[in-house]
Amino acid sequence: MFPELNNLLNITPDRAEQGKLTLLCDAKTDGSFLVHHFLSFYLKANCKVCFVALIQSFSHYNIVGQKLGVSLTAARECGQLVFLEGLKSSVDVFFRAQAEPHPLQFLREADAGNLQPLYEFVRETLKPMDDGQAAWRCPVLLVDDLSVLLSLGLGAVAVLDFIHYCRVAVCWERKGNIVALAHDSGDGEDKENDILLNGLSHQSHLILRAEGLATGFCRDVHGQLRILWRTPSQPTAQRDGSLTYQYKIQDKSVSFFAKGMSPAVL
Amino acid sequence: MAAVATCGTGAGSTGSIVATTSKNNVTSFQRKGPRASGTDSGCSRLVSIAGTRPSVRNGQLLVSTGLPALDQLLGGGLAVGTVLLIEEDKYNIYSSLLFKYFLAEGIINGHTLLVASAKEDPADILQELPAPLLDDNYKKDLDEDICNHQTPDSNIKMKIAWRYQLLPKMESGPVSSSRFGHYYDASKRMPRELIETSKWHGFFFPEKLSSTLNKEPCSLTHGYRRLLQFIQKVIYEEGFDGSNPQKKQKNILRIGIQNLGSPLWGDDICCTENCDNSHSLTKFLYVLRGLLRTSLSACIITMPAHLIQNRAIIARITNLSDTVVGLESFIGSERETNPLYKDYHGLIHIRQIPRLNNLIYDVSDVKDLAFKLKRKLFTIEIHTQKKFNLCIEEKNVDYNTS
The nearest CA of chain B is from the CA of A241 a distance in Å of 28
- Work out the angle at residue A198's Cα, subtended by the Cα atoms of residues A192 and A202, and round it to the nearest 5 degrees: 150
The ipTM value here is 0.93
Extended strands (E) in B323-377: 323-329, 346-352, 369-373
User: Does A22 fall in a domain?
Assistant: yes
Note which residues in 33-92 of chain A have CB less than 8 A from chain B: 33, 36, 56-60, 62-64, 66-67, 73, 77, 86-91
Q: How confident is the model at residue B102 (pLDDT cuts 50, 70, 90)?
A: very high
Judged by DSSP in three states, B44 sits in helix
Provide CB contacts within 8 A for A145, sequence distance 6+: A35, A54, A55, A180, A181, A182, A183
Whether the predicted pLDDT of B158 surpasses 50: no
Q: Please report the pLDDT score of residue B402 as a whole number.
A: 40
Cα separation, B259 vs B88, whole angstroms: 8
The nearest CA of chain B is from the CA of A174 a distance in Å of 31
Chain B CA closest to residue A86: B290
Domain range annotation of chain B: 52-133+180-398
Pairing of strands A139-144, A177-184: parallel
Q: How confident is the model at residue A163 (pLDDT cuts 50, 70, 90)?
A: very high
Q: Please report the pLDDT score of residue B213 as a whole number.
A: 59
CB A162 within 8 A of CB A208: no
Residue B192's DSSP bridge partners are: none
CB B70 within 8 A of CB B380: yes
Whether the predicted pLDDT of A133 surpasses 90: no
Chain B CA closest to residue A93: B287
B40 — phi, psi (to 5°)? -100, 10
Whether the predicted pLDDT of B134 surpasses 80: no
User: Does A12 fall in a domain?
Assistant: yes
Q: Which domain holds residue A166?
A: 3-210
Of B282, B287, B312, the CB nearest to A94: B287
Element (H, E) at B282: helix B280-293
Cα separation, B50 vs A249, whole angstroms: 34
User: Does A35 fall in a domain?
Assistant: yes
- Cβ of B286 and A148 within 8 Å? yes
CB A242 within 8 A of CB A227: yes
Q: How far apart are the first and last CA of chain B?
A: 65
Q: How confident is the model at residue B151 (pLDDT cuts 50, 70, 90)?
A: very low
Q: Please report the pLDDT score of residue A236 as a whole number.
A: 60
Q: How many domains does chain A have?
A: 1
pLDDT above 70 coverage of chain A, percent: 95
- From A83, A87, A121, select the one nearest A102 (Cα to Cα): A121
Cα separation, A1 vs A44, whole angstroms: 9
The nearest CA of chain A is from the CA of B139 a distance in Å of 33
Provide CB contacts within 8 A for B188, sequence distance 6+: B130, B131
Cα separation, A94 vs A88, whole angstroms: 10
Query: Each residue of B352-392: pLDDT tens digit?
Result: 888 888 888 777 767 778 888 887 778 888 776 544 444 44
Query: Each residue of B233-276: pLDDT tens digit?
Result: 999 888 888 777 666 668 899 999 999 999 898 888 888 877 77
Residue A229's DSSP bridge partners are: A206
Q: In chain A, which residues have their Cβ closer than 8 Å to the Cβ of B232?
A: 91, 95
Cα separation, B7 vs B341, whole angstroms: 50
- Cβ of A148 and B319 within 8 Å? yes
Q: In chain A, which residues have their Cβ closer than 8 Å to the Cβ of B291?
A: 91
Q: How confident is the model at residue A238 (pLDDT cuts 50, 70, 90)?
A: low
- Cβ of B319 and A32 within 8 Å? no
Q: How confident is the model at residue B19 (pLDDT cuts 50, 70, 90)?
A: very low
Whether the predicted pLDDT of A179 surpasses 60: yes
Helix axis angle, A58-68 relative to A32-44, nearest 10°? Answer: 70
Q: Please report the pLDDT score of residue B39 as a whole number.
A: 35
Query: Each residue of B44-70: pLDDT tens digit?
Result: 444 478 888 888 877 789 999 999 889
- Cβ of A32 and B218 within 8 Å? no
Q: In chain A, which residues have their Cβ closer than 8 Å to the Cβ of B316?
A: 147, 150-151, 190
Note which residues in 225-284 of chain B have CB less than 8 A from chain A: 228-229, 232, 279, 282-283
The nearest CA of chain B is from the CA of A110 a distance in Å of 4
Name the most confidently modeled range: A8-12, A98-102, B21-25, B321-325: B321-325
- Cβ contacts below 8 Å, chain A against chain B, sum to 115
User: Residue A253 half-sphere exposure, CB side, CA atoms within 13 Å?
Assistant: 8
A150 — phi, psi (to 5°)? -70, -35
User: Does A244 fall in a domain?
Assistant: no
Decide if A254 touches B, using CB distance below 8 A. Answer: yes
Using CA atoms, how far residue B348 sits from B197, B324, B370, B382, B383, in Å, is 34, 11, 5, 10, 11
Q: What is the CATH number of the domain that holds A184?
A: 3.40.50.300
Chain A CA closest to residue B228: A95
Average predicted confidence (pLDDT) for chain B: 74
Q: Please report the pLDDT score of residue A130 as a whole number.
A: 66
Mean pLDDT of A49-66: 93
Q: In chain B, which residues have their Cβ closer than 8 Å to the Cβ of A91?
A: 232, 287, 290-291, 294
How many other C-beta atoms can be found within 10 angstroms of the C-beta atom of residue B366?
14
Q: Which CATH architecture has domain B52-133+180-398?
A: 3-Layer(aba) Sandwich (3.40)
Q: How confident is the model at residue B136 (pLDDT cuts 50, 70, 90)?
A: low
Decide if A252 touches B, using CB distance below 8 A. Answer: yes
CB A226 within 8 A of CB A208: yes
Q: How confident is the model at residue B82 (pLDDT cuts 50, 70, 90)?
A: very high
Q: Please report the pLDDT score of residue A239 as a whole number.
A: 61
Whether the predicted pLDDT of B157 surpasses 90: no
Q: How confident is the model at residue B32 (pLDDT cuts 50, 70, 90)?
A: very low
Q: In chain A, which residues have their Cβ closer than 8 Å to the Cβ of B287?
A: 90-91, 94, 107
pTM of the complete model: 0.83
Decide if A255 touches B, using CB distance below 8 A. Answer: no
User: Residue B352 half-sphere exposure, CB side, CA atoms within 13 Å?
Assistant: 23
